[in-house]
Amino acid sequence: MRKLLPFRFELSFFNCQSVSMTVSSPGQDIRYNSSMPKLEGLGNIVTELRAERAHLVNNLRHVDAALAVLGKLEGGKFATVARRTLSTAARRKMAAAQKARWAKVRGQSASNKTTGSRPKRTLSAAARKKIAAAQRARWAKVKAAQSK
């Protein structure tokens, strides 16, 4: 489930004062602003909200109609018509063909290499001892400088 973030909702109508409220999470109550008027005109607010919603739905219908017309003018590129679907067998054939293409590319790149992968290089025991002795000497120098 998606976590909802707190949001602030503010209404301002021509026939009443501005109303603001904050909702922290879906389970919590709505906290109203201290300057909020009593909710005597709540019925009017709900009526105005419904009217505004109807107006917005009407505007969205106009936008959808315009998009449909423009989509048809562009050759259906943006139209809301569903695209064709491929059968499962066709998708399997396409996947097999793509795997074959990749196998061919990998085969060519493997044959182009003149040398194989180099073996991992390791240090001899004597070299490791020299490195460890040098590191101990460096740390001794640092500790001597700190103790002064």
Closest CA to 81 of 73, 90, 89, 72: 72
CB of 59 closer than 8 Å to CB of 48: no
User: How confident is the prediction along the chain (148 residues), in pLDDT tens digits per residue?
Assistant: 455 555 555 555 555 555 555 555 555 555 555 455 556 677 788 888 898 999 999 999 998 888 887 776 655 555 556 678 899 999 999 999 999 999 998 887 666 555 567 788 899 999 999 999 999 999 999 999 998 8
pLDDT reported for residue 44: 81
pLDDT reported for residue 18: 55
Considering the domain architecture, whether residues 44 and 78 belong to the same structural domain is answered as yes
pLDDT reported for residue 1: 46
Considering the domain architecture, whether residues 14 and 33 belong to the same structural domain is answered as yes
Please indicate, yes or no, if residue 32 is contained in any of the structural domains: yes
pTM, two decimals, is: 0.27
pLDDT reported for residue 32: 54
Closest CA to 40 of 20, 22, 16, 18: 16
In the chain, the number of structural domains is 2
pLDDT reported for residue 71: 72
- Which residue range(s) make up the domain with 15? 1-37
Helices (H), the chain: 42-73, 88-112, 125-147
